[in-house]
């Protein structure tokens, strides 16, 4: 499977395939899994608070914190290193930054 992730549209498709089931299509934490199990609902990228010590708001998460979370997981989110290449994880970091700004 060849993924076209070098465009914003491709990054969005990558996010939809691997992240939206929990994080929702716009990163608000309202994906179908989260809605069916509120105890696993992730915070909104644009206006939620991070559970990571000292991280503050989700919209202020750095590249490194986002990449680390995608790679190793945090809280209810499992690691995605075996599912996504290093390059794909960085593409998702770039897309999450758009969602942090409220730009789906």
Average pLDDT over residues 59-81: 94
74 forms beta bridges with 77
Q: How far is CA 43 from CA 5, 9, 10, 39, 46, in A?
A: 25, 23, 24, 11, 9
From the list 25, 27, 63, the residue with the least C-alpha distance to 42 is 27
Tens digits of per-residue pLDDT, 25-62?
999 999 999 899 888 889 999 999 888 766 689 999 99
Position 5 scores a pLDDT of 55
With contact defined as beta carbons under 8 Å apart, do 104 and 26 qualify?
yes
- pTM, 2 dp: 0.87
15-48 residues labelled b (16+ CB within 10 A) or e (exposed): beebbbebbbebbbbbbeebeeeeeebbbbbbeb
């Amino acid at each position: 499977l060849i993924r076209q992730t070098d465009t914003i549209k491709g990054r969005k498709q990558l996010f939809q395939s691997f992240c939206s089931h929990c994080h929702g299509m716009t990163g608000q934490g309202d994906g179908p899994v989260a809605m069916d199990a509120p105890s696993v609902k992730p915070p909104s990228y644009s206006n939620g608070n991070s559970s990571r010590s000292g991280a503050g708001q989700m919209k202020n998460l750095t590249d490194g914190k986002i990449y680390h979370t995608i790679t190793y997981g945090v809280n209810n989110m499992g690691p995605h290193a075996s599912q996504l290449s290093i390059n794909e994880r960085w593409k998702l970091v770039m897309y999450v930054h758009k969602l942090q700004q409220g730009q789906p």
